[in-house]
C-alpha cells in the first residue's frame, strides 16, 4: 500500500538564518558535570578553532605559518581522535564536549 506524505507549505521550506547556527542545536552542558580532558594537542586545538571560524586549509596555514599539507595532516589527526566524519563534525563534537567555544 502506498502512503502519501504531506508536503510542507512554501513558507516552511525557506531556511531561516538561525537554522544555520550550530550553537543553537547544541544542548547546554549540565552544571557540575566534569569535562574530560581534550585529546587534542595545543596546535590541533588552534587549527580546529580556525576551522570553526570558517578558515580554509590554505588560510589556516598562512595564519599559523605552516604548509597547507601540515594543516591537512593535523585535521586528519583531529578527525581520528574525535571519530569525526568531516571538519564540521569535528567542530560540533569539540563544542559539545566543551573543548571548543564558538
Contacts 24+ apart (CB under 8 A), 25-33: 26/92, 26/95, 26/96, 27/96, 29/98
Residue 8: which residues within 8 A CB-CB, separation 6 or more? none
State if pTM tops 0.85.
no
Separation of alpha carbons 63 and 28, rounded Å: 31
Domain boundaries, the chain: 40-102
- Which pLDDT tens digit goes with each residue over 4-50? 555 555 544 444 444 444 444 555 555 555 467 889 999 999 999 99
Separation of alpha carbons 57 and 19, rounded Å: 25
Specify the CATH class of 40-102 in words.
mainly alpha
- Which pLDDT tens digit goes with each residue over 41-87? 999 999 999 999 999 999 999 999 999 999 999 999 999 999 999 99
Amino acid at each position: 500500500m502506498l502512503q502519501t506524505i504531506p508536503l510542507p507549505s512554501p513558507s516552511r521550506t525557506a531556511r531561516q538564518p538561525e537554522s544555520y547556527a550550530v550553537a543553537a542545536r547544541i544542548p547546554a552542558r549540565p552544571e557540575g558535570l566534569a569535562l574530560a580532558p581534550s585529546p587534542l594537542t595545543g596546535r590541533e586545538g588552534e587549527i580546529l578553532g580556525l576551522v570553526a571560524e570558517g578558515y580554509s586549509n590554505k588560510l589556516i596555514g598562512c595564519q599559523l605559518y605552516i604548509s597547507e599539507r601540515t594543516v591537512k595532516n593535523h585535521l586528519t589527526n583531529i578527525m581520528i581522535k574525535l571519530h569525526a566524519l568531516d571538519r564540521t563534525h569535528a567542530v560540533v563534537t569539540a563544542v559539545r564536549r566543551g573543548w571548543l567555544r564558538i
